[in-house]
């Protein structure tokens, strides 16, 4: 697997922990969006895309965020679930409220993604006109698979004929 493109979208307001969003392309074939660049206690790190967990209200069925005490739809009291045991190095509040949509399985893959995204972030931050920057790692050329794949997905052109009849 190779990261063939990284796009970085800087966030406004430098006092916030979220510094940017990134989109990464793997092998010119697969895109992962909403990768976050976050300023943590030990410096910048990359967080993978995640979604907020929800539990249904037993009375009305409305899906409320995990750890909500009352239903946002009907107002009834919600049962509180038991948190799972804390593992060393876990951030309990984040893991119980959010679940990763996509994530690397190995530490080597996580380090590789983090390095590529943070390199692109640094490059975008230093550029004179910060905008949705596209960064292709050195040595990358045009996508060999993109052209045939794109061509096969295109719809055929519709040709309209002139069917006017003269009287």
Full set of structural domains in the chain with CATH: 1-49+101-144 (3.30.1120.40), 52-98 (no CATH)
Q: How confident is the model at residue 45 (pLDDT cuts 50, 70, 90)?
A: very high
In sequence order, what are the beta bridge partners of 31? 25
The string over 62-94, giving b where at least 16 C-beta atoms fall within 10 Å of a residue's C-beta and e elsewhere, is eebebeeeebeeeeeebeeeeeeeeeeeeeeee
Whether the per-residue pLDDT at 27 is higher than 60: the answer is: yes
Q: What is the mean pLDDT of residues 51-63?
A: 88
Q: What is the DSSP string of 51-117?
A: EE-EEE-TTT--EEETT-SB-TTT-PBPPPPPPPPPPTT--HHHHHHEEESS--SSHHHHHHHHHHH
Whether pTM > 0.75 for this model: the answer is no
Q: How confident is the model at residue 68 (pLDDT cuts 50, 70, 90)?
A: confident
Over the Cα atoms of the chain, what is R_g? Answer: 23
Q: How confident is the model at residue 46 (pLDDT cuts 50, 70, 90)?
A: very high
Residue in 34, 35, 25, 33 with CA at minimum distance from that of residue 146: 25
Q: Per residue in 111-133, pLDDT tens?
A: 999 999 999 999 998 887 655 55
* Block residue for tokens 């800087």: 10
């Amino acid at each position: 697997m190779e990261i063939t493109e990284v796009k970085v979208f800087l966030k406004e307001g430098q006092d916030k922990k979220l510094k940017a969003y990134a989109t990464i392309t793997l092998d010119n074939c697969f895109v992962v969006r909403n990768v976050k660049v976050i300023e943590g206690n030990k410096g910048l790190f990359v967080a993978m895309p995640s979604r907020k967990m929800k539990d249904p209200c037993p009375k009305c069925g409305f899906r409320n965020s995990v750890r909500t005490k009352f239903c946002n739809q009907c107002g009834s009291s919600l049962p509180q679930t038991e948190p799972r045991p804390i593992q060393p190095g876990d951030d309990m509040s984040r893991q119980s409220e959010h679940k990763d949509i996509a994530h690397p399985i190995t530490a080597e893959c996580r380090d590789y993604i983090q390095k590529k995204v943070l390199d692109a972030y640094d490059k975008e931050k230093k550029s004179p006109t910060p905008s949705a920057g596209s960064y292709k790692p050195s040595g990358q050329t045009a996508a060999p698979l993109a052209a045939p794949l794109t061509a096969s997905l295109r719809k055929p052109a519709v040709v309209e004929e002139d069917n006017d009849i003269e009287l």
